Amino acid sequence: MPIRDALVDIVGVDRVSNDPAELFIYSRDSGAQPPGRADFVVLPKTAEEISAILRLANREKIPVTPVGAGLTLSGIVVPERGGIVLDMKRMDRILEVDELNRYVVIEAGVSQGALQAYLKKHHPRFQHSTPEAPPTATVTANALIHGHGHISPRYGINSDMIAGMEVVLPSGEIARIGACALKGKWFSRGPLPDLAGLFVGWYGTTGIVTRISLKLFPKPGFRQVIVFKTDDIDLLPEAIAEIMYLDMAEDFFLIMQEKPDWMNHAFLVVILSGHFEEELEFKKTAYKRLFSDFKGGECISFVSDLHPALEKRFLDVPPLAALAADFRKGGGFQYTGAILPVDQVPAAWRKGIEISHRYGMVCSYVHQVLMGNSIMFGFNYSFNRADEADIEKARMALEESNRATLDLGGMIWKGEKSAQKMVLAKMEPNTAALIRRVQEFLDPNRIMNPGKWEV
């Protein structure tokens, strides 16, 4: 039977397409990476449908690439070898919110915006960790790529918040991970062997996650932003350590942009929150005096005249920090996320400016501090989508930033294909061999998002 007919048998005619206009969209993402080729787009609604699709794909040796909203921008949803793109967005049900046990179970296509709006309306005392990505980004893909959200500095990255999963293995078998595997509540993934690690960080090469449980966190009623500024980049690691040591920040990010001139400083933006006004007031006072005696005073200043428009932007959930980025004519934008130890911030900062200038760009930065031991250091580059030479420049700038990240002892987050190759080349050989063995074991026909994490 032709593949299209077999797919129509599984999901129905309305949820399969091989229309060239639609395949065009699904063969690329909106970053700077080259497009691939999709043969079919399928929008499944259930784990059972995905199971049938994967059995078919295995029989026919057809690649399968899952996509949430495709907003990682680094080409990791681009189908490199044709085949089926599985668009998860029709799996959009919020299945359970358990306030007492503090978790939410959702299907894999639920967007950040939908979950945020649902919690605000029905469970206003709780929140999930929301990334600054556009609201159409899926909650599940974000957790699966080790994303980070507006409460990550306090509670950890979003993959830490996974409390359970349902996964369709490449063979088509459906498995559950965590307490839900014992037919219990979806409240915890330990103390069983932690099988979540087989699917987190793998870019869909080991299975399709169909449901996920995420921890929920209290949502304090009062929030405030405190901003510090410095021109001494070498002070940043210690300044970050001091802010994290006080241990009261809900969110904490660094921004800088070379233009306009008033933005050309290192700004340390700290979001404080509290259940009571007095609690917030106490935290504010503690932070305001944090740097008054630091290195004799004066070198890190408290910004007392923050413009109300900026204050609102920073206090939004998620904060709109990246709006300051240099979007040039043509609207292209991609950033490479370096996960760095905080002591490497000054060196990375200088390197990013050097790379931006070499490629004729204005440098702009947004970095989120993660729990105090690391930072998501964003090397941002914009380009004109209609100008192939400009896109190529952005690719080269990204590649240089990735190389610098590894040279500084950091890790590349959601890396492009070339970045994945760099990481694997630097990796301890037995670790790389283990990755290959896990993939071969779970996916012997290598149908799952082929070309990604290819050892």
Ligand X SMILES: Cc1cc2nc3c(=O)[nH]c(=O)nc-3n(C[C@H](O)[C@H](O)[C@H](O)COP(=O)(O)OP(=O)(O)OC[C@H]3O[C@@H](n4cnc5c(N)ncnc54)[C@H](O)[C@@H]3O)c2cc1C
Please identify, using beta-carbon distances, which residue of 81 and 284 lies nearer to ligand X. Answer: 81
Span of 118-126, 135-143, 184-192, 387-395 interacting with ligand X by CB under 6 A: 135-143
User: Residue 143: which of 118, 124, 163, 126 has the closest Cα?
Assistant: 163
152 touches 129 (CB < 8 A): yes
Kindly state whether residue 151 participates in binding ligand X, applying the rule CB under 6 A: no
Kindly state whether residue 203 participates in binding ligand X, applying the rule CB under 6 A: yes
Kindly state whether residue 144 participates in binding ligand X, applying the rule CB under 6 A: yes
Q: Binding string, 299-338, against ligand X, x = CB under 6 A?
A: -----------------------x----------------
390 touches 384 (CB < 8 A): yes
351 touches 404 (CB < 8 A): yes
User: Which of residues 11, 38, 77, 115 is near ligand X by CB under 6 A?
Assistant: 77
User: Which of residues 180, 198, 208, 361 is near ligand X by CB under 6 A?
Assistant: 208
342 touches 375 (CB < 8 A): yes
215 touches 55 (CB < 8 A): no
Q: Could you tell me which residues come within 8 angstroms of residue 292 by beta carbon, excluding any fewer than 6 positions away?
A: none
Kindly state whether residue 73 participates in binding ligand X, applying the rule CB under 6 A: yes
Kindly state whether residue 76 participates in binding ligand X, applying the rule CB under 6 A: yes
Please identify, using beta-carbon distances, which residue of 51 and 230 lies nearer to ligand X. Answer: 51
User: Which of residues 67, 97, 256, 280 is near ligand X by CB under 6 A?
Assistant: 67
Kindly state whether residue 168 participates in binding ligand X, applying the rule CB under 6 A: no
Q: Could you tell me which residues come within 8 angstroms of residue 35 by beta carbon, excluding any fewer than 6 positions away?
A: 27, 28, 78
Kindly state whether residue 138 participates in binding ligand X, applying the rule CB under 6 A: yes
User: Which of residues 27, 33, 58, 72 is near ligand X by CB under 6 A?
Assistant: 72
Instruction: For Cα atoms 222, 134, 303, give the angle at the middle one, nearest 5 degrees.
Output: 45
Kindly state whether residue 449 participates in binding ligand X, applying the rule CB under 6 A: yes
User: Residue 98: which of 202, 215, 191 has the closest Cα?
Assistant: 215
DSSP string over 170-220: TTS-EEEESGGGGTS-SS---SS--GGGGTTTSTTSS-EEEEEEEE-EE--
User: Which of residues 33, 142, 224, 364 is near ligand X by CB under 6 A?
Assistant: 142
> Smallest gap, in angstroms, from Cβ of residue 427 to ligand X?
19
Which residues, 94 to 113, sit near ligand X by CB under 6 A? 108
Q: Could you tell me which residues come within 8 angstroms of residue 138 by beta carbon, excluding any fewer than 6 positions away?
A: 68, 69, 88, 89, 108, 109, 110, 111, 112
> Smallest gap, in angstroms, from Cβ of residue 296 to ligand X?
35
How far is CA 203 from each of CA 64, 157, 368, rounded to the nearest angstrom? 12, 17, 22
Lookup result for tokens 């580059």: 381
Q: What is the CA radius of gyration of the chain?
A: 22
User: Which of residues 39, 107, 132, 443 is near ligand X by CB under 6 A?
Assistant: 132
Kindly state whether residue 419 participates in binding ligand X, applying the rule CB under 6 A: no
Distance CA 112, CA 133 (A): 9
> Smallest gap, in angstroms, from Cβ of residue 206 to ligand X?
8
> Smallest gap, in angstroms, from Cβ of residue 205 to ligand X?
8
Span of 142-150, 263-271, 383-391, 399-407 interacting with ligand X by CB under 6 A: 142-150
User: Which residues would be at the binding site for ligand X (CB under 6 A)?
Assistant: 65-73, 76-77, 88, 108, 131-133, 137-138, 140-142, 144-145, 147-148, 203-204, 208-209, 322, 449
